[in-house]
Amino acid sequence: MPPACGAALAAKRLGKDSVAVAFFGEGAANQGTFHESLNLAGLWKLPVIFVCEDNKWAISVDKDHSTAIPCVADRAAAYAMPGIAVARNDALEVFKAAGEAVARARKGGGPTLIEVKTDRYMGHFQGDAEVYRPKGEVDQLRKDDPIPALAGVLRARGLLDDGKDATMHGRVHADVSKAFDFARQSAYPDPREALEHVFA
């Protein structure tokens, strides 16, 4: 979050219309840097958007056991910026809140804190046994997956049909497969490269 404040400051000083965006989880919202960054951004009216992805789990500690208030977006009030809490897994609401935040930042209106409620389907790391998680929780959460939900909205509005859906999925699968192939076929780096790029 602090480097995002700096990037926003640079945009302001250099007269660019760039907006910096920092993403973090609800667990990180209890770090000192969260509060320092919001204060600095609010004080200096920086064109920066802080996006808190609240999936309720910080590795094994759930939000009820880590955070004094239920809504991280409420903390924005203490730092002179709007705090927007987006309903769980609602992509269109995210789009709307982000658009308003970008417009506000570009107009000199300063920062915005957006809290997006969402879900975590997997463990925090490879090999996480997730013993802390209620059995069957993920199966329940998957029923509200935002991707098919968004597809449903787009179909209802006539913006998506089976053909377009298949094309889009095909393109994404091809891109990912290509990236996997590239990674698997690439040689490992020469050990001497470990010593490069410490300094520019």
Partner 1 sequence: MTAARKLTMAQAIAEAIGQEMERDSTVFVMGEDIAKYGGIFGATGGLLDRFGPERIMDTPISESAFIGAATGAAAEGMRPIAELMFADFFGVCMDQIYNHLAKNTYMSGGSLKLPVVLMTAIGGGYSDAAQHSQCLYGLFAHVPGLKVVVPSNAYDAKGLMIQAIRDDNPVMFFFHKGIMGLPWMAYYEGSTTEVPQDAYTIPFGQARIVREGSDVTIVSLSQMVQKAVLAAAQLEADGIRAEVIDLRTLVPLDVETVLRSVAKTGRLVIADEDYLNFGLSGEIAASIAEHLDRVALKSPVRRLGVPAVPIPYSRPLEQSVIPQVQDIAGACRSMMGVKLARAA
- Taking the complex as a whole, how short is the minimal distance between the CB of residue 42 and partner 1, in angstroms? 10
Nearest distance from C-beta of residue 51 to partner 1, angstroms: 16
Point out which residues bind partner 1 (CB under 8 A): 1-11, 13-14, 18, 20, 32-33, 36-37, 39-40, 43, 196-200
Q: Which residue has the tokens 């050990």?
A: 191
Shorter beta-carbon distance to partner 1: residue 147 or 198: 198
Pick the closer one to partner 1 by CB: 18 or 60: 18
Minimum distance from residue 199 beta carbon to partner 1 (Å): 5
Q: Judged by CB, which is closer to partner 1: 46, or 86?
A: 46
Angle, CA of 161, 166 and 168, to the nearest 5°: 95
Is the CB of 35 or the CB of 155 nearer to partner 1? 35
Beta carbon of residue 115, minimum distance to partner 1 (angstroms, whole number): 20
Q: In terms of Cα–Cα distance, which of 26, 28, 5, 3 is closest to 116?
A: 26
Select 40 or 98, whichever has its Cβ closest to partner 1.
40
Give min distance, CB of 146 to partner 1, in A.
30
**Which residue, 43 or 159, has its beta carbon nearer to partner 1?**
43
CB of 116 to partner 1, least distance (A): 22
